[in-house]
């Protein structure tokens, strides 16, 4: 395990961090928003606010872990762009995207976007002690709670003035969902980080509220999976296993339980996260990697970059919970071997492919774009390093 962790630490330091530092836009702020499959950077491409938030999270946590001042400067650069350009000064909240020069582009608001900004700002505050960033996180949480809720949970898609819109941005697989497991998961993730650094009582109550939704509406005990797309009152719209989201949810929920420290919720949810991990191992783990998803009983055998990264953390988390399940540790190490062979782009000045086909051949998709970021693979590296150190 220590050899495995050392390789991953070297990858973080020697590959991921330098790659994203090289995308810093010194002229207009933030980080460049697009690199195509042929490794050409489009310096005039829109800058997704999700991408910028995730880069802020990445460099904040890299600084927390490694303590290198240049990483603090990288995080400062991302924070200043988010503060000055991604926040709507008139109606509040975070835009979906801005142009390369920081002027608003897609002015719509999405709960998912607000959540990732809170997640990043909370980590940045932890890394730097910047009170302004924590106040901004609190304002965005207020926006979510005041503008993005209904009697059943969290609504998702809005125009600039927070009038509801159809949820095209977070809907897939031929359905138009009013609510998604994905958005709720990342609100939970954001509130977990905000609660960790503030111990705010209201945030703790909202974490419990979301955990109840996962237990009562999202988790299907018979199938051992989470449902994915829903109508307003949490009726599932499609027969779909999202393998990456399931394994990611298992460890993020365990993290939330640890941060919240509520014995009652730990007793209710820990068996669920254990069972989800088991189902993913049995259903989705093939050829030392994770399949993408299964719709109507048909597996999508594409190997996607973020699914592999979350698989490592999820199985490592499962092994820590059940040390007798050594196959989980083996799976984490074997997925890393798969990533080294197939997912990491060996070309100079590149990062990970977006995805590869069943035989390991890369599919020609961008190396960087609004959804392709250092959040999943960077976080995997940091989780493995931290967990290995804690186990020593």
Mind giving me the DSSP string for 182-202? HHHHHHHHHHHHHHHHH--HH
Distance CA 52, CA 374 (A): 10
Find the CATH number of the domain harbouring 265. Answer: 1.50.10.10
Q: How confident is the model at residue 263 (pLDDT cuts 50, 70, 90)?
A: very high
Task: Quote the domain boundaries for residue 29.
Answer: 2-391
pLDDT at 119: 98
Distance CA 163, CA 159 (A): 5
Rounded mean pLDDT of the chain? 97
Average the pLDDT over 147-167 and give the result: 97
Reported as type and span, the H/E element at residue 290 is: strand 289-290
Q: How confident is the model at residue 243 (pLDDT cuts 50, 70, 90)?
A: very high
Q: How confident is the model at residue 2 (pLDDT cuts 50, 70, 90)?
A: confident
Q: How confident is the model at residue 370 (pLDDT cuts 50, 70, 90)?
A: very high
Q: How confident is the model at residue 225 (pLDDT cuts 50, 70, 90)?
A: very high
Under DSSP, the state recorded for 370 is T
Q: How confident is the model at residue 392 (pLDDT cuts 50, 70, 90)?
A: confident
pLDDT at 363: 98
- Asked if the model's pLDDT at residue 139 lies above 80, the reply is yes
Q: How confident is the model at residue 22 (pLDDT cuts 50, 70, 90)?
A: very high
pLDDT at 134: 98
Q: Residues with Cβ < 8 Å from 236, sequence gap 6 or more? A: 220, 227, 228, 229, 230
Question: H helices of 199-304, where?
Answer: 201-213, 243-260, 263-283
Residue with structure tokens 């068996």? 271
What the block records as the tokens of 53 is: 């938030």
pLDDT at 161: 98
Average the pLDDT over 7-11 and give the result: 98
Number of domains in the chain: 1
Question: What is the sign, positive or negative, of the torsion defined by CA atoms of 295, 299, 300, 306?
Answer: positive
For every residue of 28-47, DSSP letters joined together read TSSB---B-TT--B-TTS-E
pLDDT at 242: 98
Exposed/middle/buried for residue 158 (C-beta within 10 Å: 0-12, 13-18, 19+)? buried
Residue with structure tokens 């705010």? 200
- Asked if the model's pLDDT at residue 1 lies above 80, the reply is no
Kindly report, residue by residue over 309-367, the tens digit of the pLDDT.
Answer: 999 999 999 999 999 999 999 999 999 999 999 999 999 999 999 999 999 999 999 99
**Residue 203's CB: how many other CB atoms inside 10 A?**
21
């Amino acid at each position: 395990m220590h050899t495995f962790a050392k390789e991953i630490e070297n990858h973080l330091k020697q590959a991921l961090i330098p790659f994203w530092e090289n995308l810093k836009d010194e002229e207009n702020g933030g980080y460049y928003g697009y690199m195509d499959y042929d490794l050409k950077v489009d310096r005039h491409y829109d800058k997704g606010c999700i991408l910028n938030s995730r880069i802020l999270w990445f460099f904040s946590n890299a600084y927390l872990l490694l303590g290198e001042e240049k990483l603090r400067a990288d995080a400062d650069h991302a924070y200043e762009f988010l503060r000055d350009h991604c926040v709507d000064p008139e109606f509040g909240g975070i835009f979906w995207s801005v142009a390369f020069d920081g002027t608003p582009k897609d002015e719509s608001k999405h709960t998912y976007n607000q959540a990732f900004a809170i997640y990043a700002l909370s980590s940045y505050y932890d890394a730097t002690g910047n009170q302004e960033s924590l106040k901004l996180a609190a304002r965005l949480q207020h926006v979510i709670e005041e503008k993005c809720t209904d009697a059943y949970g969290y609504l998702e898609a809005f125009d600039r003035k927070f009038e509801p819109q159809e949820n095209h941005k977070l809907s897939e697989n031929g359905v138009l969902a009013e609510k998604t497991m994905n958005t709720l998961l990342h609100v939970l993730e954001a509130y977990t980080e905000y609660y960790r650094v503030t111990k705010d009582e209201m945030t703790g109550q909202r974490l419990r509220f979301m955990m109840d939704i996962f237990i009562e509406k999202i988790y299907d005990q018979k199938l051992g999976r989470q449902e994915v797309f829903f109508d307003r009152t949490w009726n599932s719209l499609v027969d779909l296993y999202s393998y990456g989201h399931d394994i990611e949810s298992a460890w993020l929920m365990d993290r939330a339980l640890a941060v919240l420290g509520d014995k009652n919720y730990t007793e209710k949810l820990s068996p669920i996260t254990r069972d989800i991990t088991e189902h993913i191992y049995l259903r989705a783990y093939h050829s030392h990697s994770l399949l993408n998803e299964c719709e109507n009983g048909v597996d999508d055998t594409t190997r996607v970059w973020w699914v592999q990264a979350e698989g490592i953390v999820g199985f490592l988390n499962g092994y820590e919970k059940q040390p007798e399940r050594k196959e989980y540790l083996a799976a984490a190490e074997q997925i890393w071997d798969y990533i080294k062979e197939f997912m990491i782009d060996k070309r100079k000045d590149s990062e990970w492919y977006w995805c590869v086909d069943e035989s390991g051949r890369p599919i020609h998709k961008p190396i960087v774009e609004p959804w392709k970021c250092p959040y999943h693979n960077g976080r995997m590296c940091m989780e493995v390093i931290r967990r290995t150190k804690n186990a020593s």
